[in-house]
Amino acid sequence: MEEKKTSTADILAKIRAQKAAAAAAPETPVSPPETPAPVAAPESAPIAAAAPAPAAAPGPKPTSTKDIMAAIRGGGAKPAAAPVASTPAAVTAASTAPAGTPAPSTAAAAGPKLSPQEMLQKMREAKAAGGPAAAPVAAVAKTTAPVAAPPMPAKPVAAGKAKPAAVRRGMASFATVACISAICFVLGYLFGNSLLIAVGALAWGALLSPFMAAWAALASVGGIGTLGIARFMFPNVLVEPPSKFKVGPLSDYPLNTVSNKWKDQFGIWVVHTDQYEGRNMIFALASVCTHLGCTPNWLDGEQKFKCPCHGSGFYMTGINFEGPAPRPLERMGLRIAEDGMLEVNKSVKFQEEMGQWTDTTSYVEVV
């Protein structure tokens, strides 16, 4: 018999059919058989069933994948993939087998075949049982079905009582570590041994849980790495063009011209114009657009600086007039040096919107 290509839907349907058959065949073994627990039925049932476990759990209609997986595990433990291929009869046999005799199912549950999910579920149930509300239920469940509770770490129950002891132990270990660390520090300092100091510092790690210690280690390594990177912000040697340089005599710059001569080397234009406030002056403009820092071009035909990035435009005076630039180009310091040459000082800048262009060191008046 050739099977067609099985889709997920087919597989799910098949599993559901098998499950329904398994659930329908034996009714009684599902519920805890000889629990004397007279307590509220809905509460005791899941607790007692915790061990017979997933096999006993199935409700009438499995909806989620989890249920289906639980059904498969409860049915045949290992052959999770088998039901797909095997004939329905075999599957029902497999799944009814543990249901018929309650003992094997508990054995299976207590055995090593438990999945993490099942263990978690059990733990949760045990916890719920240990809670104040269901305390008697838990007692009953423990006494009646000792097999039901696999050897689980009983931490949650003991936690409440153990606290003071833990605190005391914590204090003791804290004191120990503090002593060791202090001794290491002192000795390390006395003998100038940095390794000892490091040990003293690391000793504190013993206080932490492995989880915390790992994070602390990561954080400290990351912190040291960041500091190391920050060190690059302060290089030992700075290779930059000098911030003060001579740009030739006044006569090199005729009236109403912009000199591109120093743009490549120093990033400045030298402008000689009488268009700003009607005064005849020379000043140096930084060739950095005040919008986003591109380098504008001086267009002689249009008599303007134009930025190629977003279209900002500036007059010869440096005042912005078109595009998105929010403020005028910045001036650099300029003066006539002792030898009569113009000297630019790039370490200072003058912004028009701050009213700094009135500063006499921002321009040289031509008379």
Partner 1 sequence: MTHLTHNPDLTSSVIYGLGWVYLLMFLMNAYWTRRSYALDGNCRLSLGGILGKGEQIPVAAFWAVYAGMLLMIAITHLTGWKNPQQFSLQMPEFLKEPINRASNPVAFFIGSTTIYVLMIVLRKWWTTPTAGWILLNLSILFLALSVTDYDFRQIVGKPDNVPIVAMLYIVGFFTWLYFKKSVDNDERKAAGRPLFEQENNEKVLTWPDLVYSELICMVLVTAVLIAWGIVLQAPLEEPASAAKTPNPSKAPWYFLGLQEMLVYFDPWMAGVVLPSVILVGLMAVPYIDFNKAGNGYYTFNERKFAVSTFLFGFLPLWVAMIVLGTFLRGPNWNFFSPYEFWDVHKLELLNNINLSELFWIKGLGRPLPVVPPGATFAQQAPIILLREWLGLVGVAFYLVVLPNIMAATVFKKFYVKMGFLRYMVLANLMLMMMSLPIKMVLRWAVNLKYIVAIPEWFFNI
**Residue 241 makes contact with partner 1 by CB under 8 A:** no
**Residue 194 makes contact with partner 1 by CB under 8 A:** no
- One-letter amino acid at 334 equals L
Contact assessment for residue 262 and residue 256, using Cβ atoms and an 8 Å cutoff:
no
- Spell out the residues 6+ positions from residue 219 whose beta carbon is closer than 8 angstroms to its own: none
The residue ranges of DSSP E strands in the chain, in sequence order, are 244-246, 257-259, 268-273, 281-286, 297-299, 304-306, 313-314, 320-322, 331-336, 342-350, 364-365
3-state secondary structure of 306: strand
The only residue of 287, 330, 333, 346 in contact with partner 1, by rule CB under 8 A: 287
The only residue of 111, 133, 321, 336 in contact with partner 1, by rule CB under 8 A: 321
The only residue of 26, 100, 223, 311 in contact with partner 1, by rule CB under 8 A: 311
**Residue 297 makes contact with partner 1 by CB under 8 A:** yes
The only residue of 166, 292, 336, 337 in contact with partner 1, by rule CB under 8 A: 292
**Residue 361 makes contact with partner 1 by CB under 8 A:** no
Please, how many CA atoms are within 13 Å of residue 219, restricted to the half-sphere of its CB? 7
The distance of closest approach from Cβ of residue 247 to partner 1 in the complex, given in angstroms and rounded to an integer, is 15
**Residue 322 makes contact with partner 1 by CB under 8 A:** yes
**Residue 294 makes contact with partner 1 by CB under 8 A:** yes
Instruction: Measure CA 360 to chain center.
Output: 53
Count interface residues toward partner 1 (CB under 8 A).
Answer: 35
Stretch that binds partner 1, among 79-87, 206-214, 271-279, 307-315 (CB under 8 A): 307-315
The distance of closest approach from Cβ of residue 200 to partner 1 in the complex, given in angstroms and rounded to an integer, is 45
Contact assessment for residue 46 and residue 55, using Cβ atoms and an 8 Å cutoff:
no
**Residue 358 makes contact with partner 1 by CB under 8 A:** yes
Contact assessment for residue 218 and residue 188, using Cβ atoms and an 8 Å cutoff:
no
3-state secondary structure of 323: coil
Binding site for partner 1 (CB under 8 A): 7-9, 263-265, 267, 287, 291-292, 294-297, 299, 301-302, 306-311, 313, 321-324, 326-327, 353-356, 358
